[in-house]
Amino acid sequence: MSGFPEFDPQLIVMVMITYIIAITIHEFMHAWTALQLGDDTAYHLGRVSLNPVVHFDPLGFFMFLLIAVTGFGFAWGRPVPVNTYRLRPLGRFGKHGSMAVVALAGPASNVVLAIAGALSLRFGGAAVQETPLAQGLQTFVALNVALAAFNMIPVPPLDGSRLLAALVPDFWRPALANLERFSFGILLLLIFLAPTVITAMVMPVYNLIFRMLTAI
């Protein structure tokens, strides 16, 4: 027995549609927020756009397809380049604070999308509840919440690491910068060798967002 969930073409289509919308908005918000804070690097690369093609990462897309089929893994869009030195300082947090705002704009956009999906389920009536659209919206909400929660893990290159860098004392920042060189490998090791650690970091945020959604 493979242990894989039952193959469901409709669910896979729903997951892929969610991926395209969620990743596009997520990366767009990184680029747009950076532009508002003074860095036009992503703007000149055409990343301040809602065109999914400019945010497409082939390996990240394949990994999301793997999630759709197996229910396991993690995925991403094409990273948005941000020049920290061009960002306007944010109060006492300086440019690290501005970078944190840019980073948090991505997960925040996924929370907003999840709220929109939850509102559609709540107020859509029979036109939604009695159609396959209900399952699609449930998938949309769950995956957007999962993306937001996962990206808030304070491990480079995830968005939560930028918030951590803004909050820690100055003498910790060089160590975090050095750690970032090995960040993708460390993240892979955590996901595949210590999934319980990842779960322990993701679930509190995931549950918090869901409690917020059920209160709407």
Give residue 181's pLDDT. Answer: 76
Question: Whole-number mean pLDDT of the chain?
Answer: 86
Per-domain residue ranges for the chain? 9-214
pLDDT at site 72 = 67
Whole-structure pTM value: 0.88
> Which pLDDT tens digit goes with each residue over 4-22?
455 677 888 888 899 899 9
Average pLDDT estimate for 48-73: 83
Check whether 123 has a pLDDT greater than 70.
yes
Confidence of residue 108 (pLDDT cuts 50, 70, 90): very high
pLDDT, one tens digit per residue, over 23-34 is 999 999 999 999
Range 175-198 average pLDDT: 78
Q: How far is CA 114 from CA 51, 66, 82, 94, in A?
A: 20, 22, 26, 31
Q: Evaluate the omega torsion of the peptide bond into residue 5 and state whether it is cis, within 30 degrees of 0.
A: no
* Residue showing tokens 């060189």: 181
Judged against a pLDDT cut of 90, whether residue 1 lies above it is answered with no
Q: Which of 1, 47, 14, 214 is nearest to 114 (CA)?
A: 214
3-state secondary structure 85-127: HHCCCCHHHHHHHHHHHHHHHHHHHHHHHHHHHHHHHHHCCHH
Average pLDDT over residues 122-138: 78
Contacts of residue 201, Cβ cutoff 8 Å, sequence gap at least 6: 153, 154
For the chain, first and last CA: distance in Å?
Answer: 41
Amino acid in position 192: F
- The CA distances from residue 53 to 43, 77, 78, 121, 213, in Å, are 15, 10, 10, 29, 30
Tens of pLDDT, residues 153-178: 988 889 999 999 898 888 777 877 77
Residues annotated as catalytic are 27
The proportion of the chain whose per-residue pLDDT surpasses 70, expressed as a percent, equals 93
Q: Which amino acid is at 72?
A: F
* Chain Cα centroid distance, residue 134: 23
